[in-house]
Structure 1
Amino acid sequence: MKNFSKYTVLGLFAFLASCKGEAEKPKVIYEDEKSTQKNVVAKDSSQIKIADLPIYMEGTKYLIHAIGGVRVSAEGGSYGSSKTNSMSYAISNYNRFELTGYFENLKFQHIDSTALRPLTDKPVQIQTATFLNTISDKTKKQILVYSLVDSDTNKDGKLDANDIKSLYISTMSGKTFTKLSSDLQELLDWNVVEVQNRLYFRTIEDINKNGAFDKTDKVHYHFVNLLSKDWAVETYEPIN
């Protein structure tokens, strides 16, 4: 029993060490500064591309189709929640005014049309798409805000949660798709202050270029006037 306890403790230490190693995996590799913004993403042969059934966000005139991949196992099954014949076809989740998941594009369809318009023609991994319904109710301006990965910053050949997350914005039709956060700055969070019609957000910059985001790095503070034509990003300094 004593030996069993000893090995159990050793195993626990080994597990914690491995977890620590994973947590410290850098989000940015600085081998070549010029190439950090280029997407050299390997095609995953274990995935098939599918689209979710369209969703409609109340108060808008557009349907949104999420496009993504289903990973098929060697046995013919797949990984996911909703399954049919051991296959999962769900790639997103919808909660009234927000679409979440891991998908590679969105396509927009006006409710009076059969035409589909893609959000982007560049490789991305979209994690959230949020309709600013309160801004729409107040100003009649309909806007979507996205958190997504747009570059393979850790150079592992994939766009995923291990890369830097960025903030984007577009109209409800998917047009004027615009990046708000700066390249190589990790999005921390964002919120909307309705009384000002502003979107505020924070990012963190890897000042010491060690590939990770830690206490030695710099947090940046920004806001955008949601009613402005070009959504120009402005900075502010609440700490100073």
Structure 2
Amino acid sequence: MSRQQKRIQRESEIVAATLLLLEEKSFLDLRMSDVAQAAECSMGAIYSHFSSKEDLLLGCAYFLTRQKIQVLHRILDADLVSLEKMVMISLCMWQINQDRPEHFALSQLAMNPSVWQRASSNRSNAMNELGDYIDSQLKTLVRQALSENGFEKVSDQSVAELMMGLWGLSSGLYQIKESGFGVFNADFREDDGVDLHLANIQRYLAGWNLDSAVSRARLSQLAEAVSNYTTLEAGA
């Protein structure tokens, strides 16, 4: 194994150790010394890979984002029409967050501008590249969905509006569910908000005259198939 390969492996081990620690405590309570102990390496080794706690946070977010890209690729390759793929991505991201809420909290924290300012430029650039890749893949999919459903002139603005609206709806609803309001709200307690999520997707698609392309019954079928796509591999 080359020196570079060993460095990549050690960095992956540090990230993996951090994610295990986060099953028991929040990132805000985590100390770099805790990470060093869990990863069985020195503090010097930790700081040779991650310049700060914020840099480590962004490194963990990078790892989790690459895992989500695995799911994205599975959906893009699936035997579904483009609009169904759009919905499936939204449903799968909801389920991934539901399965590992501590990872959701970490990813939300990692999006704070102050984290990016304190992280290394290499780390923030790498995250930007992943973001640009996901954005490109999603916009291509949305453009296909609109074309397949009778939209003759598909502008960049309409693509951005449909894409950001759908995922903003899903992400926003999930954040409400995870908040103190969600804990005490009956709409979320019974089934973790899944029915409410599906109903909101249906109403949103209706606003674009796309609800006939994906009926409520079909939405339920897609929701039942989520587990076929969300199994994450350890080495992203």
TM normalised by structure 1 equals: 0.23
Query: Relative CO higher for 1 or 2, CA cutoff 8 Å, sep ≥ 6?
Result: 2
Structure whose residues are more often helix by fraction: 2
TM normalised by structure 2 equals: 0.23
The structure number with the bigger radius of gyration is: 1
Structure whose residues are more often strand by fraction: 1
